[in-house]
Structures are given as structure tokens and as C-alpha cells.
Chains A and B, each alone.
Chain A
């Protein structure tokens, strides 16, 4: 990893899109080496928070990378510090999987620089890690939704940035591949990467994330250890009666609407 970064901080971040107040005074610190699960009901502002942390949406308050305000960091430098796999990202040309994942190396290249042997090695590594090495020569448009989601995550991992933001990376995956993706993200965190993952599956969030941030109506409703999140808070935020089963991991099974 070329650009060291140990923490990202959001202080009193508010975002307004048109007349809608999406985020309200959100303060949050992201640390390297941990998987932070960003959860909350639809429209809570999870994706907007990620975009604000990346500088993709204008916001009030302050976002800083290692205490340097985001506005003082050039775009190219930001790109080497945080990798981003947006939710349901489009692919506009029928690129090969290898070419698409290779785009993750753009922040490390000059405009006319071809893929180096090192770039190629990184692409091969992340394809393997994301369980999509066998898709390498396929055209992106020929992939299933799940395969494409894996490839898009691999593309973000190819940046090899100190932080990785993944917006709903398991949304279209079968249970096997959901586990593959979550284990991959855990392995990335074990390598020292700070991982922020937006999830709707609370059971996965409770099981794989070190820390959870629950957003509700644009505000932080909980920020703490995943295993300590109160079930009644989840019920209140998600408006469902839940059945918490088992021991340590406390799987959260939505049971009925409140």
C-alpha cells in the first residue's frame, strides 16, 4: 500500500440533497485494520455518508484523512487512500473482467502508462481473493448479478488503498458467495485495511463486523462493538420484532413487523 492512512474522521457532517436533509451532524471515526458495518433502514443515509467521506457529495462539517481536511487532499491522492465499490455500479462497455479489475490500478498510473507487471500481479491476486479468477477472460456483460458484484469488489480491492468502502457488496449474492465476500473483507482488514461495508443483512453484520454504526434518519443511532448492539435498538430502528438466537454471534432474525 503506497499511501499510509490510519484513520478517517467525520465531524458534524450534514448533507442536504435538494430539499431533503439526508445526513444530520454525523460524527464517526474509521480506523485501519477493522471491519466497520454501516447498517440502517432504507433511506437512512448510508450510501450518502460513504460518498461524503469520499468527497463525492458536498457536505457541511469536516471530513479529514489523518487529520488533514479532505479538501486539502488532491483527487489523485484521495484515490490512492480510499477505494470505493459503489452500490449497483454500471459498466458501460463490454470490457473483459481482467480489464475492468485493472481499472483499479488507475490511481497508481500516469495517463499514458500501460499496466506494469506489478499491476498485473495485483489484479491476479485480487481476482483470486474475490473468488473470480475463473472469470478473468469473460466479458463483464456476460456475468450474472452475483458474479458481477464479486468482480466489482475485486476492482475496488485492486486499488490496494489503506481504506476500502463497499456499498452493499452482498446484495445480489447467494449465501455461499455472501460468505466469500465477507471473509474476503475480513482478510483485507487482517492485512491492515480499514473496511467499511454497507449491509442490509444484520446477521452478516453481527457476525463479520468488528464494529457497527447504525444510521437512522440521517443520524448515528449506535456506534460501537458489533457484539454489544442492543437487540431492542435494532428492533426500534428497523421497526421489526426480532428473534435473537444462539450464543455469541446473536443472529438477528426479523420475525414480524412492529
Chain B
């Protein structure tokens, strides 16, 4: 049976935040170009050699900040969705927003729009996420049932995946196909502060929407009737979680492609640390997500890969076995 260490939430959050800061700082010194400790620090503060400054400030720093923000978004969304759907297998992919954002990006690459306009991929990906969210609400808004929401999400997800496969199938040339596939595998490579400026406000908007929902999700542990009798407005709760997820995940996918398993695995890790109540799960899940992406990104930058290792591949390769381990450990607890 799955156990929990039942650690103090504040302590866990503090330790995770400190670990993120430490990894973030340490990762500034790692990259294909060896810069040295002093030169990297100088570059960080805008001193010394301009090339070093450029590498540290415009290549490494935004990549790391974006990684933390994306991981935080995926972690918070995963925890909120698992709480809302009361399903430990739920992740941001369930509502179809990730796949739709991916489809938007694939369309931008397929039609060559991305060649002429630098921000075509993130903008079209966000458009895809927006359309998916509107479709989700159109399909599920009249019925407050969670089942309708899941089914609508699965339908949208399947539709977006099917159209993405169609784009792969009819790719005009092998290079376009490779671009589309590589983009779908997720990466933080060459991301700039412009990408952060583009996706950041949407992610922050999503976080803000979701941060008051812990209490409602905890009450929902008792079922919808009991939660409503405890004063929880279910429609509002659902709106906040779904819209918050759409904003966060749509923005995350739009700037770094599809990164799977983080939103699924991270809430389970958080439960192991602090306990099962959905009430306090959001912040630790976000921090764990940020840390996980930072570490996974570091792994992609290790010097011994002969080819470009994509971030989404690392999170899936590490996340899937871990997820199976969680399933084995929770067999008794999640009846």
C-alpha cells in the first residue's frame, strides 16, 4: 500500500524551492561551451566578455527559467486535474489541450508559416489550445458531470492526435516531417526571454486561477453532493481548473513542445511527501515539476549524447517506469 511521509507542507515547499534555486544556479555553469566559474558569474551580472554575457544571459538563463515555469505549470495542472477528476491517472493531456496546442504548432510547420515568421509556432500553438478549450466548454458546459468533461477531453485529444498524424502522413518533404516530429518531442533549446514574454503571462494567469482551488478539490474528495453541501461552487471550480490548465499547458506546449508524464507523475511524488489531501498538493507539485524539468533538461545537455536528445523523450523515459512503480505501490490504496 502506498504510504506517505506526511511531511510538513511548508518545509517541503521550502526545500524544493531551495533545490530549484541551487539547480538553476548550478546549471548556469553547464553547457557545450566551458566558460569557467568566474566568467559565468561575471556574464550573469553583465560584466566581462560580451560573448560570455550573451551565452549566460540570452541562452542559458532563459532556458532554465522557462524550464522551471513549464515544469511548474505541468505539475500544478496535473495535481489540479487529478483532484478535479478524482482520478490518479489524469494529466493535462486528458482535457485535450496539449495535443491541440501541438497540432497548432505542427500546422505552422507544415504550411511553412514558421519559416517566415519567428513566433508562428507559439502563436498557432496557443491558438490550438484556445480552440480546444472553447470546444471543451461547448461540449461539456451544459452538464456539470465530470464524466462528460473527461469524454469531451478524450474526444478532442483523439481529434488533435488524428490531425497531427495526418500532417505527418502528408508531410511535403522529409525535412518538414523531421521538424514536426522533433518539435513534438519537446525541447528548451535556444529559447529566449522573448519566448518567456510570450508564454509567461498565460502561465502566470493559469497559476493564479488555480491557486485558490485546493480547498474545493479537498471537499470534492467526498463526492459532488457533499462538496456542494460544504459550500463549494462546482461550476466555478471546474471552470478555474480547466481554464487554468488550458492557459498553463497551452502556453507551455506552445514554447517547448509536448512534454509528457510530468503532470501525471509529479502529484504522486508530492502525495508521497505530504499526504493525500488535494488541499495542499498544488504548490509542492508545481515545485517538483519545475525541479523535474530542470534535471531532465540537464540530462539532455550531458556531453555524451551523439545526437540531440529531446526533453520530452527524457521525461517519458524516466516518467513511464516511475509511473508503473507508483501504480504497483498504490494498488491497495486506490480502491
Contact = CB atoms under 8 A, between A and B. Distances in A.
Interface of A: 51, 54, 56, 75-80, 82-86, 89-96, 99-100, 103-104, 106-107, 109, 111-112, 139, 141, 155, 159
A157 to B, nearest CB: 13
A79 B226 CA distance: 10
Smallest CB-CB A-B distances: 6 pairs: A79-B231, A84-B229, A92-B86, A76-B231, A93-B276, A111-B212
B23 to A, nearest CB: 28
Interface string B205-216: 000000011111
Contacts of B214: 111
Contact of A90 (B223, B228, B231): B223
Given A56-B225, A93-B221, A103-B222, A75 B215 contact: no
Contacts of A77: 231
A90 B311 CA distance: 39
A141 B333 contact: yes
Nearest to B236: A75
B277 A95 contact: yes
Interface string B222-253: 11011011111100000000000000000000
15 contacts: A51-B225, A54-B229, A75-B231, A78-B231, A84-B226, A90-B223, A92-B86, A92-B221, A92-B222, A92-B223, A94-B333, A103-B221, A103-B222, A107-B230, A111-B212
Contacts, number: 86
Given A106-B215, A107-B230, 4 more contacts: A94-B334, A95-B277, A99-B275, A111-B216
A139 B4 CA distance: 11
A89 B231 contact: no
B219 interface: yes
B2 interface: yes
Nearest to A75: B231
B327 to A, nearest CB: 15
B236 to A, nearest CB: 9
B78 interface: no
A111 to B, nearest CB: 5
B215 A109 contact: yes
B142 interface: no
A93 B229 contact: no
B275 to A, nearest CB: 7
Nearest to B87: A92
Interface of B: 2, 86, 212-216, 218-223, 225-226, 228-233, 275-278, 333-335
B239 to A, nearest CB: 15
Q: Which of A56, A75, A76 has the most CB of B within 10 A?
A: A75
Q: B-side binding surface: helix, strand, loop or mixed?
A: loop
A56 B222 contact: no
A106 B277 contact: no
B231 A94 contact: no
B274 to A, nearest CB: 12
Contact of A94 (B2, B225, B232, B233): B2
Residue from B226, B233, B277, B335 with most neighbouring chain A CB atoms (10 Å): B226
A86 B226 CA distance: 7
Nearest to B335: A141
Contacts of B2: 94
Contacts of A54: 228-229
B278 A106 contact: no
B335 to A, nearest CB: 6
Given A86-B223, A92-B86, A56 B229 contact: yes
A169 to B, nearest CB: 13
Given A103-B218, A103-B222, A80 B231 contact: yes
A106 B230 contact: yes
A56 B228 contact: yes
A51 B233 CA distance: 15
B229 A89 contact: no
B221 A91 contact: yes
Contacts of B275: 96, 99
A102 to B, nearest CB: 9
Given A93-B277, A103-B221, A155-B222, A83 B334 contact: no
A75 B335 CA distance: 31
B331 to A, nearest CB: 12
A106 B221 contact: no
A77 B230 CA distance: 9
Contacts of A92: 86, 220-223
Contact of A95 (B221, B223, B228, B233): B221
Contacts of A51: 225
B254 to A, nearest CB: 29
A99 B223 CA distance: 15
A133 to B, nearest CB: 20
Which of A80, A93, A99, A139 has the largest count of B CB atoms less than 10 A from its CB?
Answer: A93
A111 B169 CA distance: 49
B276 A75 contact: no
A141 B219 CA distance: 17
